Amino acid sequence: MKKNIGNTDRLLRVIVATVFAALYFTDTITGIFGTVLLVLAVAFVLTSLVKSCPLYSLMDVNTG
């Protein structure tokens, strides 16, 4: 996979993922919406770790 995520983008994704996870695990947001946020949090962390976002590739975006 081609790297297309820069350091600032990675940091923002980790921060947003942390907020989403905190909202889910403190039962602030529950149900389907909470589950969707948790899945998004996992996706944000994974894309940050591999420095590549499939959606960015489809849209030809590169923040790196």
**Annotated domain spans of the chain:** 7-48
Sequence letter at residue 39: V
Sequence letter at residue 10: R
Q: What does the DSSP 8-state code read for residue 27?
A: T
pTM over 0.95: no
Tokens of 39: 């899945």
Give the model confidence (pLDDT) of 22-57 as tens digits: 999 999 999 999 999 999 999 999 999 999 999 998
